[in-house]
Amino acid sequence: MKTLALAAFTGALLMAGTAVQAQDDLSAIKAAGVLKIGTEGTYAPYSFHDKSGKLQGFDVDIGRAVAEKLGVKAEFVEGRWDGLIAGVDAKRYDAVINQVGITQERQAKFDFSKPYIDSKAVLVVRSDNDTIKSFADLKGRKSAQSLTSNFSKLASSHGAEIVPTDGFNQSLELVLSGRAEATLNDNLSYLDFKKQKPDAKVKVAATATEGDPSGILVRKNQPELVAALNKALDEIKADGTYKTIAVRYFGEDISQ
């Protein structure tokens, strides 16, 4: 009987600990006065360094605005995309804001805020490539992609052979050099690249018909943190902060 009672008491403590853990992240963030955000730092126009070396970008500014609404400061921790999401579980930071697509696979392991941006995948090839005209044409072709990205999975679903890269810039370099025949990424990143390098010999061969919503990724079972992030996103849209950030990087309001 004592053993059963002890087991029941221990189980109750574990359940209580789980319930407290669901609130721990938000409480800890506010106590520390800092929201630690994982980001890539090499993915223009979302997260990159300007000529002076300062970290900036659409996602960076969204992170700063959201942190301000939470009443804390944003602190960014940079890392390569393929290990970025794992850094949340390792508790190197509290959230990832880096165009993380909201997928069922990720939702099984992590929590997300509501979507804060929705972009479409584009298929990018060299300007002189006339053989790849659709996503279906990727079958048997080399596509340069970050291995764990949504775009890598999309390319694989069309039968592409994946050439691993560290990010979009390296993927484009491989396409331009001929070491890969294509790369998939989002339309806004491609437009920013062409704005920065209008003479680059690449083109969009195809555009996805449906968008890919991205959200702020956090550890699993964080309902209060997710609610606070959603409230912050609603507030920056309502007070015009989101529009200002969007116009700064994309030239128009993309909140709709």
- Same domain? 51 vs 89: yes
Q: What is the pLDDT of residue 256?
A: 57
Maximal CA-CA distance, the chain: 79
The pLDDT score that the predictor gives to residue 239 is 97
Question: Which domain does 153 fall in, by range?
Answer: 119-212
* pLDDT digits 0-9 by tens, 172-215: 999 999 999 999 998 888 988 888 899 999 999 999 998 889 99
Q: Quick one: DSSP state of residue 215? A: E
Cα–Cα distance measured from residue 219 to residue 222, given in angstroms and rounded to the nearest whole number: 7
Q: Are 134 and 162 contained in the same domain?
A: yes
pLDDT tens column, 113-126: 999 999 899 999 99
Mean pLDDT calculated for residue range 126-149: 96
Tell me, what CATH number does 235's domain have?
A: 3.40.190.10
User: Within this chain, do residues 173 and 220 fall inside the same structural domain, yes or no?
Assistant: no
Q: Report how far residue 56's alpha carbon sits from residue 189's, in angstroms, rounded to the nearest whole number.
A: 14
Q: Is 256 part of a structural domain of the chain?
A: no
Q: Is there a single domain that holds both residue 151 and residue 163?
A: yes
Whether residue 78 contacts residue 40, with contact meaning beta carbons closer than 8 Å, is answered with yes
Residues 84 and 146 in one domain: no
Chain segment 103-113, per-residue pLDDT in tens: 999 999 999 99
What is the pLDDT of the chain when averaged over all its residues?
A: 90
Q: What is the DSSP string of 156-211?
A: HHTTPEEEE-SSHHHHHHHHHHTSSSBEEEEHHHHHHHHHH-TT-SEEEEEEEEEE
- Split into its structural domains, the chain has a count of 2
Output the pTM of the full model: 0.76
Residues 25 and 85 in one domain: yes
Note whether 207 and 124 are same-domain residues: yes
